[in-house]
Amino acid sequence: MHVKDIMKEEIVHVDKDQNIQDALKLMKKHKISRLPVVNMNDGNIRELVGIVTEKDISVKLGSSKYGNLPPSHFHVSTVMKQEPIVVQKNENIGKAAKTMLENKIGGMPVINDCEIVGMLTKTDFLEICHGKPFNATSIMERMNTDLITVSPSDRLVHARRCLIDKEIGRLPVVEEDMLEGILTAKDVAMAMISFKKVVPDKYKTARIRNLLVEDVMTQNVKTIDGSATLDDAATFMLENRFSGIPVEVDGALGGIITKTDLMNFVVELEEVS
């Protein structure tokens, strides 16, 4: 199977001169977490110049250097990653998945020669995680049990630093061994933008440090049982548009299963086939 068989041909992009609020609005509208950044010329794409993600925006908005500036002052070009990793449409999906995992990225523009023809993301791989051996492998066999968690009373700046330093996209929020919520890079980015809109500049630095995880986290989190299969996990993620799911084992939080875990399984299968 090749990249062209699973990629999305619809290309939602953002111009490098638009601001990051525009980028986040596009992500929200199309329910995606990354955008290829292009240089436009008279309404036509001239060249691919970068890629921007929710996490990139979260990092920039929360930094001390840019903390007092409103989001409308940031062009996408100041946030994006330049020279994005791309994949040819005829590449094998196993090699493409391995490239994404090795570079710790969630998506790549797909090109044919030098033209952008689509996007390949971790979600696209979920759609092939069905049938054998996915329905014969339990979540407990592949989930991550080395969890990094935060508490509801932790400061948001601390949680943001955990997301950045550990290079992860979400944090279970736990109190007295009970799962109280989940915090994602998207939650942080949207909170930072909302905060900067309503708080006067002279108070931003002090007040942003008073934001707590419980002010931003998603509550009433859906979980999945560890005895369910990888097929079940893929279906659950697709139906709910989740990138990761907390896993219950014997009624307690036992781990987390993510798109990355499923992609690692795909790579292993492709290498032995």
In this structure, are residues 248 and 172 in contact, taking their beta carbons and an 8 Å threshold? no
Cα R_g (the chain), whole angstroms: 19
Distance CA 144, CA 142 (A): 7
Q: In order of start, what are the domains of the chain with their CATH numbers?
A: 3-121 (3.10.580.10), 134-272 (3.10.580.10)
Mean pLDDT, the chain, rounded, equals 89
In this structure, are residues 136 and 63 in contact, taking their beta carbons and an 8 Å threshold? no
Q: How confident is the model at residue 127 (pLDDT cuts 50, 70, 90)?
A: very high
User: Is 156's pLDDT higher than 70?
Assistant: yes
Note the pTM of the prediction, 2 decimals: 0.82
What pLDDT shows up at residue 9?
A: 93
**What is the per-residue pLDDT across 166-215, written as a single tens digit (0 to 9) for each?**
888 899 999 988 999 999 988 887 787 777 777 776 666 667 788 899 99
Structure tokens belonging to residue 208 = 């942003």
Q: How confident is the model at residue 57 (pLDDT cuts 50, 70, 90)?
A: confident
What pLDDT shows up at residue 70?
A: 66
Q: How far is CA 105 from CA 86, 90, 230, 237, in A?
A: 11, 20, 21, 18
**What's the chain's length in residues?**
273
Task: Provide the β-strand partners of residue 35.
Answer: 52
In this structure, are residues 164 and 104 in contact, taking their beta carbons and an 8 Å threshold? no
Q: How far is CA 114 from CA 47, 85, 93, 98, in A?
A: 9, 13, 19, 22
Helix and strand counts by DSSP (H, E) for the chain:
11, 12
What pLDDT shows up at residue 273?
A: 64
Helix, strand, or coil here: 84? coil
